[in-house]
Amino acid sequence: MQEVTGSIPVSPTIKYLYFNRLKELHHKTWNDNKERKNLKKIQISIDQKKILHIPSDTQIAEVLKTGDPGVFQKTVAAVVNNQLVDLQNVLNEDARVSAVTTDSAEGMDIFWHSTSHLMAEAIKSLYPRAKFGVGPAVSNGFYYDFELDEPITPEDLGKIESRMGEMARQDQPFSRSILSKKDALLLFESRNEPYKIELIRDIPGDSVSVYQCGSFIDLCRGPHVPSTGCIRHFKLLSVAGAYWRGDERNPVMQRIYGVSFPTQEALDEHLRLLAEAQERDHRKLGKMLDLFSFQAEGPGFPFWHPNGMVIVNAVSDFMRETLHRHGYQEIKTPLILNESLWHRSGHWDHYKENMYFTEIDESPYAVKPMNCPGGLLVFNNRPHSYRDLPLRLSEMGLVHRHEKSGVLHGLFRVRQFTQDDAHVYCTPDQLENEILLIIDLVDEIYRAFGFDQYQMELSTRPAKSIGSDGMWENAENALKKALERKSAPYQLNEGEGAFYGPKIDYHIQDSLGRTWQCGTIQVDFSMPERFGLEYTGADGRKHRPVMIHRAILGSMERFIGILIEHVGGAFPCWLAPVQCAVIPISEKHHDFARQVVRILRDADIRCECDDRKEKVGYKIRDSETRKIPYMCIVGDKEAAGRTLSVRKRKQGDLGGMSIEAFMGLIREEIKGRKNH
C-alpha cells in the first residue's frame, strides 16, 4: 500500500492509525490458492439470478467478473444486501450482490463524486494551502468547494485538468478506511483542514469513513470507482463563489464545477447539449424576446413585460378551461393573513424562516407562502354534505417565500410566484379514484405543452412531520394503490414527503433530456384535523374529509422558464406573443398591410405590421430571430388580389393564399393548441 506523500506532513501516529486500517482492506486474492482452500464456502446470488459458491474473503469485483464482461466494464460499485459498497470490499457470508453501472443514475453519481476527489487531489497538489469543504455529485456533474487565498480563474481550469489527467494515468486506487472520530480529528488537524474537522464533529456516532486517492485523503461515505484510471474523460466548466454550508453568515469559498463520463463520445455529446442549453437559457431568451426582467428594486421578483404577459395569460386561460372541464371551481384567497392562521396550519413551526411578516392594526400578519390555509377557510365557510364531495377548488395563487440571494436564478428560483394550486376534499372512499383522476389530468396538461416524457416519485413520511401513524399509513397506501392501478412506474423516496403528508412528484423531461420537478399530488389527513373540517355523511353523522393538495405546473414562473428553454423561445402558435408579422414590401403596400392586420386582430390573431423603412430580407430575418410563427409578405400582386405570401417558421415559404384561407389555417392551429 502506497503511503500518503505531499507537502503537508502527517504524524507517525496518524500514519499508523490510518494506513494499518487501509491495509485491512487488502485481503487474500484469487492467486492465493493454497490458503483459499481452507476458507469456508459462501453462497452468493448475483442479480437474483446466478448462484455462486465461493470461498469467503473474496473481493466483490472478482465475483462480478464472472458475469457479463460488458456489464462489468461499466461497473463502478455494488449493492450487497441492499447496501451500496466499493468493489474492493470482501464477502464473508451469504449475500445478494448486484452491480451498479454507469448506465444508472446511481452509478453516474458515484462516477462524478469520484471525479470530484480526483479534482480535489489535483487542486491540492497545485495549491497546497487549499482547505477543502465538500465535493458532491450533483445533477449532471460535480463540484468541490475550497478555501484559498488566491482566486482561481477560468484560465486556471486547464492547468487543473492537466494535473487530473496525470493522476488518472497513474491509476491510483481509491482506498477506504473506518476511523474513530478521535483518530479522524487528529488526522485532519494534522492536515490543517478546519472544514473537515467541523463536519466530523457534526457526524453522529463514534466513527467515520475516509478515502485515500494518491496523496489526497478525504472524509467521505463513498463508495468510489476502484481507481483514478477509470476516470479519463472530464471537463471543468466554471468557477463560482459559495457560502460554506450554504449559510451567508459563513465564509465564501471557491467552487469549481465539472463533469465527466466513461467515454469521450458521451462527454462530447454532453458538452454539445450544454452549449445548446446556454443558447436556450431562459434569461437570455427572456431579454431577447422582451418577455420579463428583474430590477434592483425588487431582487427575486420578476417583472413581466407585455410579450411575457401574453404567455402568462395563455397558459392561465388554458389551465382554467381544462380545470373547468374536469369539475374544478376557482377561488381566490387573500395575500396576507393573520399570524394565528399559520400557527394553526403548522407553517409557523415548520416554515417560518421562509416567510415574510407585517403588522396590521397592531396585530401580526404573514404574507402567504402557500395557498392551502386560505383554501381551508373557504371550505369551512359553510356546512357540507357527502353529496357535495368530491369538492375540487382551484386557485392561481400568488405566494411569497424568502429565498437567500445566493440561490436566486432567473424564473427558476424567485421570491414571488404563482402556484396553480388546487385542493380536493373527498371522502376516504373517494380518495383513490380522485388520485387516479388527477394522474390523468396531469398527463393531459403536460402533453398539451409538449412534455411527453416524465418520471414519477413517491415520497413517504419524513422525520419531521405532523399527524398520526395511521393517517400516514392510509395516505401512503392510497397513493401506492393509485400508481399500481395505472401501472405507472415510479421511484420510491423514503422519508422525503412533505411535513403534512406523502406525495407523488412529477419530473418532466425537456427537449435536451433534462428533468425538472414540477407537479405534485399530496394526500393530507392532518390539515383537515387541524382546521376541524367536517361533512355530514349519509348516516347523518359528522365525518372528516380527506384533503388532496395538487399542483401541475408547480410555479407558473418556473414552468414558463422551463418552457422557454424547452422550445428555445420558439413558442407554438397558440402561446407565441406575436403569432403573425405582416411585412409590406414597400411603403405603397402599407395601407393593405394594415388592413390585413386589422382583419387578423378582429379574428383574435395576435399580429403586427412591420412597416419600418428596412429591406424585406432584413424584416424576414428579424421576424425569424424573434421566433414569430408566421410571416405574411404583401406586395403589388398580393394587394391587387387581396392575398398573402405566407412563410412559416422552420418550414419556409408556404406560397400564396387568400386572407380567409390563412385565417382558417392559423386559427385551426391556435384552437388545436398544436405544439409544432
Catalytic site positions = 372, 401, 419, 421, 423, 503, 549
Count of Cβ atoms closer than 10 Å to residue 178 Cβ? 14
What cell was used for 93? 457470508
> In angstroms, how far is the first alpha carbon of the chain from the final one?
61
CA dist 387 and 583 (Å) reads 58
Asked if residue 577 has a cis previous peptide bond (ω within 30° of 0), the answer is: no
Could you tell me how many residues make up the chain?
676
Cα dist from 666 to 145, 572, 603, 631, 671, whole Å: 53, 11, 10, 11, 9
Distance CA 577, CA 240 (A): 35
Task: Catalogue the E-assigned strands of 498-616.
Answer: 503-509, 515-524, 535-536, 542-543, 546-555, 580-584, 607-609
| Cis peptide upstream of residue 390 (ω within 30 degrees of 0) | yes
- What is the rounded CA–CA span in Å between residue 315 and residue 558? 13
Alpha-carbon span 537 to 626, nearest angstrom: 58
Do the beta carbons of residue 131 and residue 147 sit within 8 Å?
Answer: yes
SS (H, E, C) 579-601: CEEEEECCHHHHHHHHHHHHHHH
Beta strands in 112-204 (DSSP E): 131-132, 137-138, 141-147, 174-180
Query: Judging by DSSP bridges, how do beta strands 216-219 and 131-132 pair with one another?
Result: unpaired
Q: Is the dihedral of CA 552, 555, 557, 562 positive or negative?
A: negative
DSSP class per residue in 248-271: TTSPEEEEEEEEEESSHHHHHHHH
